[in-house]
Amino acid sequence: MKPILILGAGPAGAAVALGLRRLGYAVALVSEWRRFPALEGVSLRVLEALRGAGLERALQSALQASQRQVAWNGEQHVQNVEYLLDRPRFDRGLREDLRAAGVELIEGQVLEVHSTATGHRLRIEGQAERRADFLVEARGRQAPALSKALGKAVRGPQTLSLLNRWQGTPGSTASAVQSLEDGWAWMARQADGQCYWQLTVDVASADLPDKAQLLDYCRRRRLDSALARDFFGAGPQLDGQLHARSSTAILCPQVCGENWIRVGDAAMAVDPLSGNGIFQSLSSALQAPAVINTLLQRPERAALAQRFHRQRVEQLFLRFARIGRDFYADEQRWATQPFWQARRQWPDCEPAHGAADFAALRIERAPVLRDGLVDEAEVVITPDQPLGIWHVQGVELAPLLRRLPDEPAQQVLAGLSEAQDRAVRGWLLGQGYRP
């Protein structure tokens, strides 16, 4: 079999590549490396996910801890620690992790992808034509669809983010987020004086100037903000640069076929206020190696594997979108302004997290991951986990749940280790179970 080809070397593409190598597959990754400086704020949960994916070198080279200020709905406070990730250094670390794992790296722009049921043919700038039996699309939210026949994507309100970068005076590391009448801004300052300010606005209602005037427009917006003036100080702002990018929430209509799969932002991308983009990318990418392994090694389970990937991508998209909706709804001062009005009710009125209800638990057969493959098993469906939970601390939940109505909990949980007993009891109580 030819090496599996992965398009895109961000965290999602890298996580899939490393996962496939652990399963013994030959992998080639095609990417244009990032050509502009960027900074991302990530949480401790994101760092744990990156380490779990095997991206240690990438993390070691790029992190700075920062205390984050939040100015929202007229209130200002210091929130939890945010870790600032320097993306160029992070991307270099990604390449080191990939090389160390034996992934073939191909640098160049993908000019054309021709896909059929029997394989894929790629034309890459400066390279000989490449062929692959299986293709992973991980080029982000701008990745083209493999076929127009896939259907129409689900989209949230059209959103644009204007990222400004300049060289300021060296000092302490810090970050902040601020709500504005027509959007919101994220700002960060590195110890070396690199400064970042990103304005996120509504495409339909924003009164933006021509492209040539955007940098000056952003400078004026920063000067209008007391928080931004205080955050960045009065020092010089040298070598100002601007990068505009779409941050519209998008769910791809089809995320998996028999010889291809979409991961990360190429599968679903959500509003940056909903959570960290890297975490969202990894959420779908970490399951992809098992899905691919199933499609290649157990073709009789192809429909099950595709269903597993599709359902989890869709559920992640809705969960993150609802979290973002609730953050937008917390800002009450400009509820009738177009930016806020469009986002405080999208995608729906369903809660981001379902309330615990032990009586609502039910058992169904559903796809799960077992030994590097997608398999089917009995899972417990909960209001907050509509795709089901298979086991906790290695203990399958469905058999226990069947026994609880007729047997004492002590008898049902007999034989579990102390850690398993504690974990399962905690889960049951969290679902509203009262012995």
pLDDT in tens, 225-258: 999 999 999 888 888 899 999 999 999 999 999 9
* Residue 377 within any structural domain of the chain: yes
Domain that holds residue 125: 4-63+86-155+249-329
Q: Is residue 58 domain-resident?
A: yes
Q: Of 38-47, 103-112, 314-323, give the lowest mean pLDDT range.
A: 38-47
Measure the CA–CA gap between 250 and 157, rounded to whole angstroms. Answer: 10
Q: How far is CA 64 from the centre of its chain?
A: 20
Q: What is the chain's mean pLDDT, rounded?
A: 92
Q: Which two tokens stand for residue 61?
A: 């080279």
Residue 205 domain-assigned (yes or no): no
Tell how strand 135-137 and strand 260-262 pair up: parallel
Tally the C-alpha atoms within 13 A of residue 319's C-alpha that lie toward its C-beta.
18
> Between vectors from CA 375 to CA 374 and to CA 378, what angle results, nearest 5°?
130
* Pair 362, 322 in one domain: no
Q: Do residues 90 and 27 share a domain?
A: yes
Task: Judge contact between 32 and 107, C-beta under 8 A.
Answer: yes
**What is Dmax (Cα atoms) for the chain?**
73
For residue 363, the tally of other CB atoms under 10 A from its CB is 15
pLDDT-based confidence at residue 374 (cuts at 50, 70, 90): very high
285 and 426 in a single domain? The answer is no
The reported pLDDT for the residue numbered 238 is: 85
**363 and 325 within one domain:** no
* Helices first, then strands: H and E counts in the chain: 13, 23
Instruction: Give pLDDT, residue 59.
Output: 80
Alpha helices in 177-239 (DSSP H): 214-223, 226-232
Residue 270 lies in a domain: yes
Residues 318 and 395 in one domain: no
pLDDT-above-70 percentage for the chain? 97
Q: Which two structure tokens, joined as six digits, stand for 264?
A: 């990360």
CATH number at residue 35: 3.50.50.60
- Tell me, yes or no, whether 72 lies in a domain: no
Domain endpoint, select from 329, 348, 367: 329
Distance CA 189, CA 167 (A): 10
What three-state secondary structure class fits 155? strand
How far apart are alpha carbons 91 and 85 in whole angstroms? 10
- Confirm whether 107 is domain-assigned: yes
**How far is the C-alpha of 350 from the C-alpha of 170, rounded, in Å?**
46
Q: Is the pLDDT of residue 34 over 80?
A: no
**Residue range 177-181: mean pLDDT, rounded:** 96
Assess if residue 334 is contained within a domain: no
Give 37's pLDDT tier (boundaries 50, 70, 90): confident
| Claim to verify: residue 307 and residue 389 sit in the same structural domain | no
For residues 333-355, average pLDDT: 95
Q: Do 374 and 322 belong together in one domain?
A: no
**Residue 359 has which token pair?**
């009586």
> What is the total count of domains within the chain?
2
**Within 10 A of 260 (CB to CB), how many other CB atoms are there?**
21
